Structures are given as C-alpha cells and as structure tokens.
Amino acid sequence: MPDPKIHIKDSPIPESPLQPVQYTGEHEIQFRCHKNIECFNACCKQIDLQLTPYDIVRLKNRLGMTSEEFLRQYTFPYEIDKDGVPGVKMKPVEGTSQCQFMTEEGCSVYEDRPASCRYYPAGLLSLRRQDESVDRQSYVVVQEDHCKGHFENKVQTIDQYREEQGLVEYDEHSRGWRQLILKKISSGPVLGKPTAESLQFLFMACYNHDKFREFVNSASFRKTFDLDEAVMTELRTDDVALMHFGIDLLKQVLFGEKTIPLREGAVKERIDERWEIVQQRNRLKEEIGRQQKDTYELDMESRQNDDISDDVAGHPNGERCSGND
Ligand code: SF4
Ligand code: SF4
C-alpha cells in the first residue's frame, strides 16, 4: 500500500518551521462525533469558519433569505491575501466566538452545514505549484484538546469520512471557486494588483448571488454576452448553475479564459461606447475649465472694482471709517 503521506516541498506556509503533515484520502483517522460525547458542541463555541460560495447558496436557501440578507446577518468579509482578494467568514454571536447556528441540541442547520464543519477534524488543502496548471488536493488533520472524538473507537480513511459527511458533493461544487482563488493568489505580480472594481465584482459573483443575478439579467450584460434563452432561464431559476456561471465569468474577466461566448461585435461596441464616454468626459472637463476661467476672470474684475471703490470710500489700510469725521 502506498504511503498516504504527501511529502511535498511546496507547503502553503514555506517559511514556517511547523509544516502541516499532508495526507492523501487513503490516510486512516480514528474519530467519531456524536450527541452523547462529553465535548458535544465544544467546537461550535469557538468558530473561525471560511465559507465557500456553495455553503452560502445552501444556507441562504435553507433560511429562505436573499444572499444579501444572509451575508449581512451571518457573515463578515475578510481579505484572503495582501491584494485584498475577498473571502467571507461566519459571524459568531456578538461578543463571543460561538456559532449563531448552535443550539443545546446541536447544529440547527445540520443538513446544510458548511464544508469546514463537515471536514472537521480534517481540512482540505488545495495547492498549486507555480509550474503546474492544476491544483493538488491533500488533507490535514488537527487534534485539539477540547475534541474527544479522537478517542472514539471508529477508524476510517479520509475518503470514507468525506463520503459519510456529504463532502464529495460540496467539494465538487467548490472546486471551481478554489481553483480561481488559488490562481488569483499564486499569479501575484503577473496580473498586478486588482482594481477596487474588480475585487467588488469578484465578491458579488462569488458570494452575493442574488445581486449577481440582477447583473446577469441587465440589458448591458445581455448586449455583451451571447447566451441562449435556455441558459438564461437556468440562471434565473437555479442558484447552483448561477454560482458556477459566476466562476466561469470571473475566469474570463480576470484571466482572459474564453468561458462565456461574446456577442459578435460586442467588444467593438463596448470600445466605441467607452470611447464616447471618454470623449464626453473630456468635453465636460473642457466646459468646466472654461466656466472656471470665466468665473475667475469675473472674480478678478469685481475685486479690482472693489479695490477702486475702497480707495475712494475707505482708508488706505482697507478699514472703513466708522467715526463721524
Ligand atoms: S454551522 Fe453548525 S456545525 Fe458548523 S459551527 Fe455552526 S453550529 Fe457548529
Ligand atoms: S469537539 Fe469534536 S467530538 Fe466534540 S462535538 Fe466537536 S467535533 Fe464532535
């Protein structure tokens, strides 16, 4: 049987002396979590959970909320890297580190709990070497003092555990997003620092799906991209299809991959439109400049007139005479 440990040099934290041990799915873990365990709920009292786009779709639909409402109430944004690539984490109960979905009986959204909760005590590591175009998937296992599940008598491989926890589906739906974020982070200075607009667009397409749907339904989007009615109907009604579409669109926008067909002539039309906008702006600037010049000249003229009348009616030092003489 092959050694399930992965010995790769390119760790996600290469400068750290503490390298996480990375495993393949064949690695066996001894672990079981259940309602009668003495540490029940301990992990949900101290959360630090990153959410994937698919986590958000599952949770907001379970709660019957729009993505915007869900993001406001249950999450906070954070920056994944120094260029500000946006991510979203679960917001704990105010003033604590406890998950808002935790109850005495356990998780109130159990069937739709996020991927990180399903993985625990394992974690997924997606790594991409600079000389490779695809990412490698491996796993880490954490053993924290508060978690007594490691002393339970159940042994299975990480792959079996993933299957048991419904993670095959979750990983499938999150792969595109993971690859996109990884590519964005690892491309570094090659792509340059993203603009504030492109980071906002990334946030909307990845996490705020209802807002993104409005964008896809807009006239300017339809004018640019060539999508048939069947695809548009799917995007209007299916959150998961919309989520995957958003990732494909980002690959096109950020990396120039040809993922979504453009309408014939759309690029030229956009360039013409932009050119017209630039021309209008320039005309506006010129007009403002002209008006400012006119105002300045009028202002100067009136100052000169004031000076003349001051000379006539006031003291030479500029003070008006308030006396009787
Ligand atoms: S979502 Fe559920 S399982 Fe995950 S931390 Fe919250 S209560 Fe615990
Ligand atoms: S601390 Fe570990 S064993 Fe205890 S409830 Fe959480 S995951 Fe289960």
Hey, whose CA ends up nearest to atom 3 of ligand 2?
149
Range of the structural domain that residue 53 is part of: 25-188
Instruction: Determine the Cα–Cα distance for residues 32 and 22; give it in Å rounded to an integer.
Output: 21
Assign 13 a pLDDT band (cuts: 50, 70, 90).
very low
Give 43's DSSP letter.
Answer: G
Q: Is residue 128 part of a domain?
A: yes
Q: Is residue 42 part of a domain?
A: yes
Instruction: Determine the Cα–Cα distance for residues 248 and 179; give it in Å rounded to an integer.
Output: 11
Distance 124 CA to ligand 2 centre (A): 18
Whether 181 is in the pocket of ligand 1, judged by its Cβ within 6 Å, is no
pLDDT tops 80 at residue 6: no
- Number of domains comprising the chain: 1
Distance 92 CA to ligand 1 centre (A): 10
Q: Mind listing the pLDDT tens digit for each residue in 229-263?
A: 999 999 999 999 999 999 999 999 888 898 999 98
Q: Is residue 281 part of a domain?
A: no
pLDDT tops 80 at residue 277: no
Pocket test for ligand 1, best of 34, 37, 44 (most atoms within 8 A of CB): 44
- What's phi and psi for 321, nearest 5 deg? -80, 125
Hey, whose CA ends up nearest to atom 1 of ligand 1?
113
Ligand closest to 40 (CA) is 2
Hey, whose CA ends up nearest to atom 5 of ligand 2?
40
Instruction: Determine the Cα–Cα distance for residues 310 and 317; give it in Å rounded to an integer.
Output: 9
- What's phi and psi for 28, nearest 5 deg? -90, 140
pLDDT at residue 12, rounded to an integer: 40
**Do residues 252 and 260 touch, judged by C-beta distance below 8 A?**
yes
Instruction: Determine the Cα–Cα distance for residues 32 and 151; give it in Å rounded to an integer.
Output: 8
Whether 147 is in the pocket of ligand 2, judged by its Cβ within 6 Å, is yes
Q: Mind listing the pLDDT tens digit for each residue in 114-172?
A: 999 999 999 998 776 656 666 678 999 999 999 999 999 999 999 999 999 999 999 99
Ligand closest to 147 (CA) is 2
Pocket test for ligand 1, best of 46, 50, 102 (most atoms within 8 A of CB): 102
Whether 51 is in the pocket of ligand 1, judged by its Cβ within 6 Å, is no
The terminus-to-terminus CA distance of the chain in angstroms comes to 114
Q: Is residue 227 part of a domain?
A: no
Ligand closest to 63 (CA) is 1
Whether 91 is in the pocket of ligand 2, judged by its Cβ within 6 Å, is no
Q: Mind listing the pLDDT tens digit for each residue in 49-100?
A: 999 999 999 999 999 999 999 999 999 999 999 889 999 999 999 999 999 9
Q: Is residue 176 part of a domain?
A: yes
Q: Mind listing the pLDDT tens digit for each residue in 20-42?
A: 789 999 999 999 999 999 999 99
Q: Mind listing the pLDDT tens digit for each residue in 197-225?
A: 999 999 999 999 999 999 999 998 998 99
For residue 40, CA distances in Å to 36, 106, 149 come to 7, 8, 9
Q: Is residue 129 part of a domain?
A: yes
Q: Is residue 317 part of a domain?
A: no
pTM of structure: 0.78
Q: Is residue 63 part of a domain?
A: yes
Instruction: Determine the Cα–Cα distance for residues 155 and 29; give it in Å rounded to an integer.
Output: 6
pLDDT at residue 103, rounded to an integer: 97
